Structure 1
Amino acid sequence: MQSFWSGRNCLITGGAGFGGAHLCELLLGLGARVYILDRWLPANSYLVLSGMKARTTFIQGDIRDMDLLRLTLQRFEINTVFHLAAQPIVPISNVLPLETLSVNAQGTYNVLESVRTAQCVERLVFASSGAYYGATTTNQAIPETHPPLPAANIYAPSKVAGDVAVRAYAHIYGMKAAVCRFMNTFGPGDTNFSRIVPRAIKNLITNDTYDFGSRDDGSSQIDCLYISDMAKAYTHLAEKLDEVAGEAFNFGTGVPVSTKEVTSLTSRVFDDTERTPIFSGEKRAVPSIKYLDITKSRQQLGWQPTTSLPEGLQKTIAWYRAHWDEL
């Protein structure tokens, strides 16, 4: 049976990034023609190291360049847009708040306007974030109906702005557009070593102190989703846009795990050694807990995660070992 994606022209904004490159890999495997719009293409990106760049069309540019967006959509007759481009580094958002808002909020409006006025584009999927919900401590899975709460960074409200805008455009203009909300994703090719899994693997490969700094006390509970499951979430949602335009969907494992447990497990998977991770953050009386209710994605999209945390860590560690000298 022919794939839904066979011969379909897809644009991935931010496609040279970690999540974008894995989505690119999935779409190419499904027979799509993939176009990437990104500000840069690092030599150590998963897109380059996996050899996929030669199989795509790469357009260097910024989503805040409206003329470039419109020209790209029209020139390549783009059918489906996956909007992943963002300033995604949470600590940087507080240092560069205007840049973060400019890219994540204004940039998303630019993409929406370009898609709305382009006759060739049929559908759009937006990469939102679990940061949409703000800071939470309740030990309950968060449903899509949960309102945004106060956050400790500028990244969260910048993603709320894009999330709300996408859903509004769908309702006001009849666009086939919807929102993906993810939590902590991990897997091969993530070069942001401030994130918990890449940092753990870096410490292990370099035989460095198993230290995770002062940002956490080890008690925070997060939802770790393997990157290939994330990529499938995008395509599952895009395929169902005729039915679910204007909605938001959570994607995760639905199971919280503490940062201490994640790092301890990473150590065991790495070389069967039990290391004690060092977390020097101020001890919390109430742990930070955030994980997503994925019932809606299961029921309406037929999506569910298929890679367990140990299996995902095993695949991720193997990739870093094979490519460490190139990073």
Structure 2
Amino acid sequence: MSLKISIVGAAGFVGTNLALAALEAGHEVCLVDVADRLGRLRSSGLLDRAPHQFVDLSKPDAGLEASADVIVHLAALPQVDFSMYEPARVLTNNTAVTANVLDSARAMNAPVLFTSSIEVYGGNEGALFTENSPLLPLSPYAASKISCEEYLTSLRHGFGIETTTVRLTNLYGPWQAPDRIVPRVIAQALSGMKSEAVTGRLRDFLAVEDATRALLGLVDRGVWGETFNLSAGLPAGLEEVADAIADLTGARAATRINSPIRDGRGPSLIASPAHLKERLGWRPSTPLPDGLRTTVSWYSEHESWWRRFEAQFGADRDGPHFLLDHAYSF
């Protein structure tokens, strides 16, 4: 069944991939974002394929113009690192945007699929997190997501709005900005630059196409009133990922660096996807080595998009200058 889907945060990494997948699946899509800051919508051809609304939803009384059958709310200032430099801005922006999205949802009586993050769990020494695990925000970004989750819960109980929360793991794939580890190391390798990888960190990497398949599955089936981890459930060390990229590109191995004492992250952050598998029949289909190989190929073929961010992926991580949200913020 074809649905009218408003994707809030459509100009982001996940939003761009989700919009492309939704159109391919036969849905109608409205692209909503503050602007096409990094040129994803233009470069992907989405601006020519779907209507869009550029609006700053963090402003008072801002809202969605087009009616929708479903709203997928992806919009956020998303970087843990950025939130350590701009904590109040991240919290204020993310909660204000969510409040305005939900006001629009109430007005048009549309359900909302909200994407949170497994960062809400903080981290541990290796045990899998489930949806019922205690929440431990180690960064302002994680705290903002918890605040948004609680606001969704209050409106679901207080006003009957249909919502579902999906906690995303570490996604990677086409159109991801090169201030995240996978595209950053790829861009550095393809540019002949040295790379660094933090040791002692286990993370859960999931190909974005697997994630968009799950998100569209929840929308298609109308699964509301629940919370899901969207994850692979498989640990991978950051240095392991960097080494795999070095092997694929013929670059030198990444330099190992120790974990900072406080950077908003825990040592291991792996979430179980069992609830989503049980409820939707979904499971990841892209092994990490295959996904990294495909991603390296995509960045090799799309240099014209990411090359302009060389000032960021060429900068060290001692300050905010490697962050695209810092360089391209309004």
- Asked if these proteins are the same fold (TM beyond 0.5), I'd say yes
SS of 2:256 mapped into structure 1: coil
Pick from 179, 186, 191: which aligns with 1:201?
186
SS of 2:196 mapped into structure 1: coil
Q: What fraction of aligned residue pairs are identical, expressed as a percent?
A: 29
SS of 2:278 mapped into structure 1: helix
Deviation at 1:283, TM superposition (A): 8.1
Q: Counterparts of 1:25-44 in structure 2 under 5 Å?
A: 25-42=20-37, 44=39
- Determine if contact 2:62/2:100 at 8 Å carries over to the other structure: no
- Determine if contact 2:200/2:258 at 8 Å carries over to the other structure: no
CA offsets per residue over residues 287-326 of structure 1, 9 Å max, x none? 8111111110000112111111111111111111111133
SS of 1:223 mapped into structure 2: strand
CA offsets per residue over residues 172-227 of structure 1, 9 Å max, x none? 32222100101110001112x22110111011100111334xxx3x2200000101
CA offsets per residue over residues 243-285 of structure 1, 9 Å max, x none? x4221100111101000111111112234x6x4321222588x
Deviation at 1:124, TM superposition (A): 1.0
Residue number in structure 2 paired with 1:132 = 120
CA distance in structure 1 between the partners assigned to 2:140 and 2:150 by the alignment: 16
Q: Counterparts of 1:208-219 in structure 2 under 5 Å?
A: 208-212=193-197, 216=198, 218-219=199-200
CA offsets per residue over residues 9-35 of structure 1, 9 Å max, x none? 111111011000000011101111111
Which letter does structure 2 place at the counterpart of 1:224? Answer: F
Deviation at 1:95, TM superposition (A): 2.0
Q: Counterparts of 1:1-327 in structure 2 under 5 Å?
A: 4=1, 6=2, 8-42=3-37, 44-45=39-40, 47-65=41-59, 67-70=61-64, 72=65, 76-119=66-109, 121=110, 123-134=111-122, 136-151=123-138, 153-191=139-177, 193-212=178-197, 216=198, 218-241=199-222, 244-271=223-250, 275-282=252-259, 288-327=267-306
Cα distance change, pair 194–279 in 1 and its aligned pair in 2 (3 A): farther
Which letter does structure 1 place at the counterpart of 2:129? Answer: I
CA distance in structure 2 between the partners assigned to 1:261 and 1:61 by the alignment: 40
Deviation at 1:239, TM superposition (A): 2.8
Q: RMSD in angstroms over aligned alpha carbons?
A: 1.9
- Determine if contact 1:25/1:52 at 8 Å carries over to the other structure: yes
Cα distance change, pair 144–282 in 1 and its aligned pair in 2 (3 A): closer
Which letter does structure 2 place at the counterpart of 1:52? Answer: L
Deviation at 1:44, TM superposition (A): 3.5
Runs of 5+ unmatched residues, structure 1: none
Deviation at 1:90, TM superposition (A): 1.5
- Determine if contact 1:13/1:63 at 8 Å carries over to the other structure: no
Moved segments of 4+, more than 6 Å? none
CA distance in structure 2 between the partners assigned to 1:220 and 1:249 by the alignment: 23
What's the TM-score, normalizing by structure 1? Answer: 0.87
Deviation at 1:43, TM superposition (A): 5.3
Cα distance change, pair 43–129 in 1 and its aligned pair in 2 (3 A): closer
CA distance in structure 2 between the partners assigned to 1:50 and 1:107 by the alignment: 25
What's the TM-score, normalizing by structure 2? Answer: 0.86
